[in-house]
């Protein structure tokens, strides 16, 4: 039903039919009634909200560029006090969908507004979002996993409220250690992208996964090692003086003894590129080791 709506909505607008934006405006307007849990319409409004989540209708709102309306919907519900747990859970599901869809280029404005709401209401949302992500990453919820790229969701949340992700760290670590090559590569891509964000300090909670990420420099598969090189290079170039720089450079120098010639060459390339960008960030010992190779 959702895909059909997405397909026909533009034609309804072009032909002068019912404007989908007006329909969504009416729907969002009803959510003000969620503040009255004892009201006669409360249960019906909850059903409307659940239907919006079930059929991913918020995606249609993004297609129609109803960003202000999506923002109003989030603000109306998350700024309410003492709303039922079922309402909060449903809205968290909708927000996850918005984050995932906006990463696909539907609208960066929608992504920003979702991140703003998460940042402002992080304490209220933390438990629910953590539960959703863990259920997907652990394989308990295959339906949501098939519909949502949770790596993109994690990347978005890390920008605005990284503390929410503390509960998923063991699962990300597990993906870095997975037997499946594709799983390890995807985990390296995600974790490397998180740590390479400009100005992003690696908090204490993420130190274990940072250390495991560096250990992938010794992964049994060359492709994984090379992939890690790409990300640590970005990490160092984004901030050569970051607190983790000595650990990264030390781990790189250890790979100068790698059995694979291409890996050794890549180490030299990374250290030389960083030295050209900021020579003082490379220890003399590392420079000597590179010259020896």
Same domain assignment for residues 25 and 94:
yes
Same domain assignment for residues 180 and 242:
yes
Percent of the chain clearing pLDDT 70 (strictly above): 81
pLDDT in tens, 162-180: 888 888 999 999 999 999 9
Domain that holds residue 77: 1-160
pLDDT in tens, 25-45: 888 888 888 778 788 888 888
pLDDT of residue 264: 93
Query: For residue 35, what is the DSSP state?
Result: G
Same domain assignment for residues 180 and 203:
yes
Same domain assignment for residues 149 and 24:
yes
Same domain assignment for residues 117 and 214:
no
Same domain assignment for residues 6 and 84:
yes
Return the number of other C-beta atoms located less than 10 Å from residue 233's C-beta. Answer: 21
Label residues 96-132 b or e (16+ Cβ within 10 Å = b).
Answer: bbbbbbbbeebbeebbbbbbebbebbbebbbebbbeb
pLDDT in tens, 234-276: 999 988 888 899 999 999 999 999 999 999 999 999 999 999 9
What is the number of domains present in the chain?
2
Domain end: 125, 160, 195, which one? Answer: 160
Return the number of other C-beta atoms located less than 10 Å from residue 161's C-beta. Answer: 19
Same domain assignment for residues 292 and 253:
yes
Return the number of other C-beta atoms located less than 10 Å from residue 71's C-beta. Answer: 18
Same domain assignment for residues 225 and 149:
no
Lookup result for tokens 């250690």: 177
pLDDT of residue 34: 79
Lookup result for tokens 């959702």: 2
Backbone angle region of 39, left / alpha / beta, with phi > 0 → left and psi within -120 to 50 → alpha: beta
Same domain assignment for residues 216 and 139:
no
Q: What is the CATH number of the domain that holds 215?
A: 1.25.10.10
Domain end: 115, 130, 160, which one? Answer: 160
The answer, as to whether pTM is greater than 0.75, is no
Same domain assignment for residues 122 and 150:
yes
With a cut of 70, list the residues of the chain below it in pLDDT: 1-21, 77-84, 99-114, 140-148, 200
Domain end: 160, 193, 228, which one? Answer: 160
């Amino acid at each position: 039903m959702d895909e059909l709506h997405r397909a026909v909505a533009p034609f309804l607008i072009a032909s002068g039919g019912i404007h989908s934006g007006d329909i969504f405006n009416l729907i969002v307007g009803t959510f003000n009634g969620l503040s009255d849990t004892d009201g006669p319409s409360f249960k019906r409004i909850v059903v409307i909200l659940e239907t919006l989540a079930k059929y991913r209708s918020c995606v249609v709102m993004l297609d129609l560029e109803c960003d202000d309306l999506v923002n109003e919907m989030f603000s109306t519900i998350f700024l309410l006090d003492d709303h039922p747990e079922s309402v909060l859970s449903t809205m968290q599901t909708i927000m996850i969908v918005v984050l995932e869809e906006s990463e696909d280029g539907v609208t960066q404005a929608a992504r920003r507004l979702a991140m703003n709401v998460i940042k402002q209401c992080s304490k209220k949302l933390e438990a629910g979002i953590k539960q959703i992500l863990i259920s997907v990453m652990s394989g308990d919820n295959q339906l949501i996993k098939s519909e949502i790229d949770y790596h993109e969701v994690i990347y978005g949340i890390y920008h605005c409220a990284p503390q929410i992700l503390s509960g998923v760290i063991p699962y990300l670590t597990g993906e870095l250690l997975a037997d499946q090559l594709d799983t390890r590569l995807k985990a390296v891509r995600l974790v490397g992208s998180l740590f390479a964000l400009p100005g992003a300090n690696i908090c204490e909670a993420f130190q274990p996964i940072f250390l495991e990420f560096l250990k992938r420099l010794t992964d049994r598969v060359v492709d994984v090692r090379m992939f890690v090189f790409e990300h640590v290079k970005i990490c160092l170039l984004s901030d050569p003086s970051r607190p983790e720089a000595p650990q990264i450079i030390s781990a790189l120098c250890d790979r100068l003894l790698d059995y694979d010639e291409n890996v050794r060459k890549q180490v030299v390339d990374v250290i030389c590129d960083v030295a050209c960008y900021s020579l003082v960030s490379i220890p003399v010992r590392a420079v000597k080791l590179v010259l020896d190779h």
